Amino acid sequence: MLFPTAPSRPPGVIFPYNTTSKSLIVKWSHVPKQYFNGKLTGYNISYYPATFEWNVSFVTVDYKTNSTELSNLVAFTIYVIKVAAVSSGGLGPRSMISVQTKDAGIIDCLSHPHSWGFFSIQSSGKKRR
């Protein structure tokens, strides 16, 4: 009897967006179904302040979802965010990004899986309330 294995690929690019200085919306690209290896169940998002790795919080979302809001964060703090696909075989590899909470519409990514160094993006849209 064969047992299902965990997903073999991490989610694609993680894109954070500050909704306030204490919350982020995090979006990612779905893992293609052929890499889930077993029954599709969802995504596991873990996050923590970079200086307090032991203070990890978790969010789990349905596999059809590719975003979530992280709230009650500490303003102007660097967070490490990791996203992994989950199947009936377990937790797959994680994509990771480090981002600093800022005012709404401003993103300061300190590390990104598909770039090097530091970049900042500012939304041209109105702040959401």
- pLDDT tens digits for range 35-61: 988 888 999 999 999 998 888 999 999
- pLDDT tens digits for range 102-122: 876 655 666 544 333 333 333
- pLDDT tens digits for range 5-31: 899 999 988 888 888 889 999 999 999
Identify the CA nearest to 118 among candidates 105, 128, 107.
107
Pick the CATH number of 14-122 from 3.40.640.10, 3.40.50.1100, 3.90.1150.10, 2.60.40.10: 2.60.40.10
* 54 Rama sector, left if φ>0, alpha if ψ -120 to 50, beta otherwise: alpha
Considering the entire predicted model, what is its pTM? 0.80
What's the whole-number average pLDDT of the chain? Answer: 81
Q: What is the pLDDT of residue 104?
A: 66
